[in-house]
Amino acid sequence: MFAKRQSALAATAGLAPRPRSRMGMKPVVAALKKPPVIAGLAGLFLLTTSALFLTVLGDPRAGSPSARVALEREQAALAPAPSGFDAFSSGAMGPYQNMTGAGGDPAAMGGEAVITLPDGASVAGGGAAYSAPVHAASPLARAPIAGLSQPGPNGPLPMIAPDGRVPAQAYARPFRPNGKPRVALIVGGLGLNAVTTRAAIERLPPEVTLSFVPYAENLQSWIDQARAQGHEVMLEMPMEPTGYPNNDPGPYTLLADGGPDDVQAKMEWLLGRATGYFGVTNYLGDRFAASDAGMGAFLTILRQRGISFLDDGSFQRRPGAWARASADRIIDQTQSPAAIVSALNGLEAQAKLRGSALGTGFSYPVTVEAAARWSAGLEQRGLQLAPASAMTMRPGR
């Protein structure tokens, strides 16, 4: 295209200029003589004259009184940060109102939702709708308790007191069985998200055990708040999973081939992050569980320091620590209200069959809300909600 344009210009470059036609102005003059054109030109002349008059003499209303008012739009007040109760209250949990997922809309009663569970029971209290309120605090002893910790390279480490007291008992929530089948629940993954952590502390009954991530900022503060509300707490031990390091639980992951010295060094950092926990639990760790040397070192340290080990069900063949328990069921492998409540009902059935059952779950919003509503009717359904520490057993007992 560019070549053709250049050739055309070159061909005409040496030609003499064309003479102008004398007939070019005759059509214009003829058009100006027509009446409609004359009227239009007269109007245009009038407008132009008026504009020039205003420009020279100014605004004719310039002498009239006038006033200007500055209008400013008030900014809306910022809403306060929601508490855990606000974030997970009944009014904000539209998708979670129907916990069955199959029984239709929940019945309205007293202006609140009545949740019907898959086994036919309903979460209700006193004949009126129940919406899992914030529970009254039943505080546990403030940590640290004298004699149960010693200085470590990265923080205070748990220890067995000279008089025989152990953290596994001193920091556990006291429990008195009433003869009914016992069911316990651990909710983990706490400390990383402030809203979900506060929700779990405030919304769940104090008998529910809370498990915290060791990497969380202000970990001691979170543990203190949980214990002040009545929850016993645990720490999560990151352990090597299948797919490591692509699936990486963090810099202090206990490695299958790390050896006893590596396990001890990392556990001194992990256990020294805070005080007030009665036990630890695993975070991932299927590969670490297969390591005899690693697991042996891990359980020995816990036994020497008087700490319990409660796993998610994948370490059942590994005895050790000061006391042990394994979960019977993970309740939120499918993160839907119907699936979680179904898993909790399965936990109930197992407790009634065997006398006790232990479940574990992650602090997803739906898990926290479902567990709060499910636990409200346990007593009426013939069960006793127990802290997870009540499910542990000493080796050989």
How much is the pLDDT for 2? 39
Give residues with Cβ within 8 angstroms of 335, minimum separation 6: 364, 366, 367
Answer whether residue 85 is part of any domain.
no
Question: What's the structural domain count of the chain?
Answer: 2
- The residue among 118, 105, 97 whose CA lies nearest residue 381 is 118
Q: How many other C-beta atoms can be found within 10 angstroms of the C-beta atom of residue 334?
A: 11
SS3 call for 146? coil
Answer whether residue 15 is part of any domain.
no
Q: Count how many Cα atoms sit within 13 Å of the Cα of residue 393 in the half-sphere of its side chain.
A: 10
Average pLDDT over residues 124-150: 73
Average pLDDT over residues 374-384: 94
Cα separation, 329 vs 358, in Å, equals 7
Tell me if the pTM is above 0.85.
no
Would you state the structure tokens that stand for residue 24, as one six-digit string? 């070019």
109 and 201 share one domain: no
Structure letter (DSSP) for residue 92: G
Q: Using one digit for the tens of pLDDT, what is the confidence trace for 74-101?
A: 554 544 444 444 444 333 333 333 333 3
Domain extent for 334:
145-391
Cα torsion 25, 30, 31, 34 to 10°: value is 160
Answer whether residue 24 is part of any domain.
no
SS3 call for 308? strand
Cα separation, 73 vs 76, in Å, equals 9
Answer whether residue 126 is part of any domain.
yes
pLDDT bin (cut points 50, 70, 90) of residue 207 is very high
Taken in order 303, 308, 309, 313, the sign of the CA dihedral is positive
Q: Using one digit for the tens of pLDDT, what is the confidence trace for 315-339?
A: 977 888 999 999 999 999 999 999 9
127 and 149 share one domain: no
Assign residue 167 the CATH number of its domain. Answer: 3.20.20.370
Higher pLDDT, 66 or 187: 187
Last residue of a domain, which of 131, 155, 178? 131
260 and 120 share one domain: no
